[in-house]
Structure 1
Amino acid sequence: MDFDMGPDAAALRRELRSLVKAHIAEDYLGAFTDNPDDLEVAQAFCRLLAERGLLCMSWPTEFGGQAASPWEQTVVREEMWAHHEPRGAQYMGVNWVGPIIMRHGTAEQQARHLPPIAAGDVIWCQGFSEPEAGSDLASLRTSAVRDGNGWVINGQKIWTSYATMAQWCFLLARTSRHDKKQRGLTIFLVPMSDPAITVRPIQTMMGPHHLNEVFFDDLRVTDADVLGTVDDGWTVVQSVLAFERVGIARYARCERLLQLAPEALGEYWSDLPEELRGRWARMLTHCRRARLMAYRLVALQAEGQVRPTDSAAYRIAVTRLDQDSAEVLMEIIAALPEGVSRIFTAEVEDHWRYSQPSTVSSGSIEMQRILLARTLLAAS
């Protein structure tokens, strides 16, 4: 299978790799560690990408982008995720918060929020999941009640990534009740600095910042903070999921680490059991399959034809790849004597940690299978 995107994409890939090599330490494992300096490295790198027009390449020029093709943006996604996402949490603003505000926001909201995202100066978090309303998101209880010319929001969100570092929250709340629970939901864009918002970190093996509880106690917002139409937030949510689940090129990190394995092990590679090397080769094949599915989605997205089932099928494949490749890689590094290929070992262990929640976060794999099955059965 030939995945060549042409000379321009190849040149862009070389430029990105050169920037990563020049500005990101070889042992860098992302922004979300116990060391606050790692976050600043990511923020500085985002500003560098923005200055070079590489952060939001596919955005329209009027919103700070380069009007580049979605394939060039795909190259950026692949290279960033392959190298432990040196953009930190910025991928969220770039991949879907910005595009959703372009699609559903007012001119005032676009002027307020898009320039800081394009400059790499702002971090967003997503206020969707709640206790008892994760996979069944439409059952959420956080409420926004009309109060004069504004709204008062009360409720709780959970599993909110980056809430401790974010300046803004893309918040989903219930504004009215109907027979169909997907109706009566509304998106609000709210500042995390408001004292009515409390964030409590949830400690996990992935390190700080990834998972948090967020509480809203009489948070007051105005109609200017509503994204889209009141009570029609589910339409916005569907757009979010179409962008969000395509945006992370998980296969790129899997493929890079798998390809590095023989070089990292050196003379020890031939000592691996033949069965393990066979599984390693199978994982590389699965990487190509996931990449092909991702490229199909990019093509559909460029034409505005992405359906939830398209994203679901890709997500099932790529999250399983994430976990299966991590297990193979962990078995491979187990064959290494202590101290050999220290950086590669750290990368693999980090990849394994991140892979564990991949089949749950952003919509569990079980829910993706149900969505896909229902669509296939309805079409049969």
Structure 2
Amino acid sequence: MALAGRRDRLGRVQLARRSVRAATDRQATAIARPPKTARGSGGPAGQRPKDGPPALLHRGDPLHRGSDVRVDAVGVRAYGHPDPQDIASRDMTIPALRELDESFQAWLDERTDALETYKTEPPDFDGKVELLRGLQHELFDAGWALYGWPEELGGRGGTVLHRGVIVDALERNGYPPRHVYEHLDILTPALARFAQPALCEKLFLPTLRGDILWCQGFSEPTAGSDLATLRTRATKVEGGYRIDGHKIWTSWAKWATHCFFLARTGEPEDRHRGLTAFVTPIDAPGITVGAIEQSNGNAELAEVFFDETFVPDEARVGDVGQGWTVAMYILAGERGSFTWLRQCEILPRLEELAATPHASEHADRIGESLMRLIALRCRSREVMEILAAGREPGPESSVSKVLAIDTEQDFYDAAREILSPGLDLGTAPDIDFWNEHYLYSRASSVYGGSRQIQLNVIAKLMISRGATAAASEEEEEEVAALRASVSEAIEQNASGREALEGLDWWSFAGTPADSFGRAAFSTWFEGQGASRVTSPALAGVRCAPIANELGVRPDEMALAVDESAGRLLVVGFDESTRWIAAERAEGPVAFEATGLTACESQALDGGLVARVDVDPHSARTIEVDASALARAADLGRVGAACEILGASRALLAMAIEHSNEREQFGQPIARFQAIQHLISESQIEISALEALCKAALEEWSAGGGRELAAITKAQAGRDGRSIAQRALQCFGAIGFTAEHDHHRYSRRIHTLDVVLGSYPTLRRALGAEVVESGRAPRCIQIWHPEASDT
């Protein structure tokens, strides 16, 4: 079945969905609230009103106790109901993401000298908090901190993606991580969604300006990962609730003005159904904060005691008994948008590490960290898009959380190796910084939900569904139809070549220029990997510029991946091959294939790689534009990565099926945590590779993506091999037999790893480039190259 008909239908569906998505994004910011509060006149450069004497805002109000908010800064005039004429004079258009980035960058450039003081972090946390408070004031007063927040609450509209633009720009311009203000992005969305209107009106804008600092009171001495067992009690009294209990591991409580916490309004046996969310000033009567010094020397954590603390009814967030829903919303956002913040923070540190004296000796470690950071960046963007569309990311946020843990710990492990022995002995440059953050990174697998808990969450979904995330409900129906078409074509044709011809694949997917072409490109290679067929697709994509010079079709080319003394190891060779292309130091050459025959090779996958003997002197030199050849190599790498992805998905699906059917000790082995974690680890790697492949194709279609293609290919080689090994652990002895398909998939993955650049080779080259250039490529922006960015 040709894919052209599906291309036309997909175009119409995608156009309609873009319109719906744009409307959904706008609606997500329009939460029903009282009339919009003012935020000062003008657009991004608007200033707060300065008339009237300074005075404390509602100093006697329980919800504002402890806040030194003033009228001239964030007072009644700034937060009260706006003048209708003021509203009419504003440009409230939600900017495109790219436009917002460009405008914000221009503002940062114009104010370089004025903002320079905010780039140097004081050594103590008190100083850091004050520095960040000042920077947040600047962003708020100029209007930038209002993007990504509902207009009805005083924001300038947009979604979490708009906030991501601001954070990304700040980090790449050398401004410090958000530290105490990370809760602004974690807790404020829950206020906007669940809090009562009057509560939002009091707290929302002071929070955005940074005058209100939050801490999150969830964990307790007896309720960590098992949050549903918490004991802090909220007893109903006249006008509100009396709170008694003990919170622990409460980040930033020492500096917070307010606490967002969970308490039990039901009975203990109600577990998560008996929880309710509240907010309170941290200095309310009956609250005691005790700082906890951490192993890295900071006191970010604290324990918070509630002793008959009164909280008014209006301070309840959500309905009584809705606390678990509120908490899960917060945690999903934390594990989604927070992971974007983390990679934004670590990328500049990678550049700093690459500038240290011995970094060039550890290019492979620099490259490994870059790979992980870019995979996290691509994956985080996808989760943020789910949040921006008003949908719940569910277990997808757990995938991002584990990726963030592994990325952070790997980076600081790399730092320890590169700075060794200076980091351990205290002689490395900037030793206080590196020691503090290395030790902190050890706890990243504990806070916010431990790594093992996240693996449990992912595994339960995967095993109960019995399929991989590739078949998730998120997948667009037309792309799913493409998969079905490719599978049908492969099943009904004798060879991969015939299947490609029947699909008319080369006409629009050989050089994918639009969304349908990219979908058809990736779908074919993934299907090829899942079915283990061979075809001229990879060779044709890589050799397309050479084929053009020779005047033949791309599918009439084969690719030599190794040449030695007249022996070629070739991909894509069959009876229809007319030319074999090879890469030599002096440039590309081609051997005429007429009359040549393939011999059995000793490659792990002899079906993928054939041996062809040639006269080395018969090679024809091909003059090809170097940039066209490089772009073809990039696209070939993405194709090989997609094929590894397809094979990896197939292995994981087989492992899940086997684990559900195979019984040991009287139950399916899928019930054992060891098996569950093997499955989860593989799903995490598949999810990251999916995001990389999609992003790499988009960037290639837009004319870029060189580093991203190399990262995608390297990650595919690394993760494909580890997924194959985990699958074997699930299969046990049966997986090591000749009759089992495991070794066939494993052979395909290992062989594809070395085609067009192996994982070790690409990793080292990527790291060496970062060291030489002093720049860690971001590879993608938060917007898509083709997107309208509504």
* TM-score, L = length of structure 2: 0.43
1:301 maps to what in 2? 387
Whether the aligned pair in 1 keeps the contact of 2:405 and 2:445 (CA below 8 Å) is: yes
1:125 maps to what in 2? 215
1:57 offset after TM fit, Å?
A: 1.6
Question: Is the alpha carbon distance of 1:293 and 1:226 closer, same or farther for their aligned partners in structure 2, counting shifts above 3 Å?
Answer: same
Q: Higher helix share goes to which structure?
A: 2
Report SS of the residue matched to 1:181.
helix
**Structure 1 stretches lacking a partner, 5+ long:** none
Matched, 1:291 2:382: no
Question: Is the alpha carbon distance of 1:165 and 1:178 closer, same or farther for their aligned partners in structure 2, counting shifts above 3 Å?
Answer: closer
| Matching of residues 142-157 of structure 1 within 5 Å | 142-157=232-247
| Matching of residues 1-380 of structure 1 within 5 Å | 6=98, 8-13=100-105, 15-16=107-108, 22-24=115-117, 27-28=120-121, 34=124, 36-80=126-170, 85-93=176-184, 95-177=185-267, 179-248=269-338, 249-265=341-357, 268-270=358-360, 272=361, 276-334=362-420, 342-343=429-430, 346-380=432-466
Report SS of the residue matched to 2:149.
coil
Whether the aligned pair in 2 keeps the contact of 1:165 and 1:209 (CA below 8 Å) is: no
Report SS of the residue matched to 2:380.
helix
Q: Which amino acid aligns with 2:301?
A: L
1:161 offset after TM fit, Å?
A: 0.9
1:149 offset after TM fit, Å?
A: 3.4
Question: Is the alpha carbon distance of 1:211 and 1:195 closer, same or farther for their aligned partners in structure 2, counting shifts above 3 Å?
Answer: same
Report SS of the residue matched to 1:144.
strand
1:129 offset after TM fit, Å?
A: 0.2
Question: Is the alpha carbon distance of 1:25 and 1:153 closer, same or farther for their aligned partners in structure 2, counting shifts above 3 Å?
Answer: closer
Question: Is the alpha carbon distance of 1:246 and 1:327 closer, same or farther for their aligned partners in structure 2, counting shifts above 3 Å?
Answer: same
Whether the aligned pair in 1 keeps the contact of 2:337 and 2:384 (CA below 8 Å) is: no
Report SS of the residue matched to 1:356.
helix
Hey, what's the Cα distance between the residues in 2 that align with 1:169 and 1:139?
A: 20
Hey, what's the Cα distance between the residues in 2 that align with 1:341 and 1:231?
A: 52
1:16 offset after TM fit, Å?
A: 5.0
Question: Is the alpha carbon distance of 1:76 and 1:207 closer, same or farther for their aligned partners in structure 2, counting shifts above 3 Å?
Answer: farther
| Offset from partner CA, 1:341-374 (integer Å, 9 cap, x none) | 845x554434323312111111111111111111
1:218 offset after TM fit, Å?
A: 0.9
Hey, what's the Cα distance between the residues in 1 that align with 2:280 and 2:312?
A: 10
Whether the aligned pair in 1 keeps the contact of 2:280 and 2:311 (CA below 8 Å) is: yes
1:66 offset after TM fit, Å?
A: 2.0
The answer to which of 306-315 and 239-248 deviates more is 239-248
1:86 offset after TM fit, Å?
A: 4.9
Question: Is the alpha carbon distance of 1:205 and 1:314 closer, same or farther for their aligned partners in structure 2, counting shifts above 3 Å?
Answer: same
Hey, what's the Cα distance between the residues in 2 that align with 1:36 and 1:144?
A: 32
Report SS of the residue matched to 1:173.
strand
The answer to which of 144-153 and 277-286 deviates more is 144-153
Whether the aligned pair in 2 keeps the contact of 1:81 and 1:250 (CA below 8 Å) is: no
Hey, what's the Cα distance between the residues in 2 that align with 1:169 and 1:296?
A: 30
Question: Is the alpha carbon distance of 1:141 and 1:19 closer, same or farther for their aligned partners in structure 2, counting shifts above 3 Å?
Answer: farther
1:55 offset after TM fit, Å?
A: 2.0
Report SS of the residue matched to 1:361.
coil
1:41 offset after TM fit, Å?
A: 1.3
The answer to which of 361-370 and 300-309 deviates more is 300-309
Whether the aligned pair in 2 keeps the contact of 1:16 and 1:76 (CA below 8 Å) is: no
The answer to which of 33-42 and 285-294 deviates more is 33-42
Whether the aligned pair in 1 keeps the contact of 2:258 and 2:279 (CA below 8 Å) is: yes
Question: Is the alpha carbon distance of 1:289 and 1:35 closer, same or farther for their aligned partners in structure 2, counting shifts above 3 Å?
Answer: closer
Hey, what's the Cα distance between the residues in 2 that align with 1:197 and 1:188?
A: 14
Report SS of the residue matched to 2:385.
helix
Report SS of the residue matched to 2:330.
helix
Whether the aligned pair in 1 keeps the contact of 2:297 and 2:436 (CA below 8 Å) is: no
Hey, what's the Cα distance between the residues in 2 that align with 1:378 and 1:20?
A: 54
Hey, what's the Cα distance between the residues in 1 that align with 2:355 and 2:380?
A: 27
Q: Which amino acid aligns with 1:90?
A: Y
**Structure 2 stretches lacking a partner, 5+ long:** 1-96, 467-790
| Offset from partner CA, 1:100-120 (integer Å, 9 cap, x none) | 111111110111110211222
Hey, what's the Cα distance between the residues in 1 that align with 2:145 and 2:432?
A: 27
Q: CA RMSD in A?
A: 2.7
| Offset from partner CA, 1:195-234 (integer Å, 9 cap, x none) | 2001111111344441101111111222112111011211
Hey, what's the Cα distance between the residues in 1 that align with 2:118 and 2:136?
A: 15
* TM-score, L = length of structure 1: 0.87
Hey, what's the Cα distance between the residues in 2 that align with 1:302 and 1:228?
A: 21
Hey, what's the Cα distance between the residues in 2 that align with 1:14 and 1:339?
A: 40
| Offset from partner CA, 1:144-187 (integer Å, 9 cap, x none) | 11223322111100000111111111010001126541101001
Bigger Rg, structure 1 or 2:
2
Q: Which amino acid aligns with 2:229?
A: S
Percent identity over the alignment is 29
Report SS of the residue matched to 1:370.
helix
Question: Is the alpha carbon distance of 1:11 and 1:341 closer, same or farther for their aligned partners in structure 2, counting shifts above 3 Å?
Answer: farther
1:127 offset after TM fit, Å?
A: 0.7
Count of aligned pairs: 365
